[in-house]
Amino acid sequence: MQYTRHKGLRRLLAAFGNSLAGFRFAFRRDEAVRQEFVAIALLAPVALLSGKSTVEIVLLISGLFAVLITELLNTAIECAIDRISMDYHDISKASKDIASAAVLLSLLYCAVVWIAIFLF
């Protein structure tokens, strides 16, 4: 399949379509992505209703999106590694483990933000 270059609004629309395709693929492929979409759907209204200021609301929601963004990048890395080879390799494992560690850090960041806002 040959890559087609678009310009202007057509490029933006194509990029948006590619982004939606990425969401669909990740949602179908990865249970963690599905769980994080559910968590956002449940917790974003909590953030909107319980934040005492705009800053608190933004921090609460940014924590949720940080987790989803990191999980999407983790899924992309896993797909790329699997595309190269399904055979075991130490570097492939390290790449997947490092991406997983990034997800863990984003979850910790989100938890710290939510705990700090609701407890203090």
Over residues 63-78, the pLDDT tens digits come to 999 999 999 999 999 9
The answer to whether the pTM exceeds 0.85 is yes
Q: Active site residue: 31, 36, 56, 71, which one?
A: 71
The length of the chain in residues reads: 120
Active site residue 31: no
**Which of these, 78, 82, 64, 97, lies nearest to 31 by C-alpha position?**
78
Where does the pLDDT of residue 5 fall: very low under 50, low under 70, confident under 90, or very high at 90 and above? Answer: confident
Neighbouring C-beta atoms of residue 112, cutoff 10 Å: 11
Neighbouring C-beta atoms of residue 24, cutoff 10 Å: 10
CATH class given for the domain over 31-119:
mainly alpha
Where does the pLDDT of residue 83 fall: very low under 50, low under 70, confident under 90, or very high at 90 and above? Answer: very high
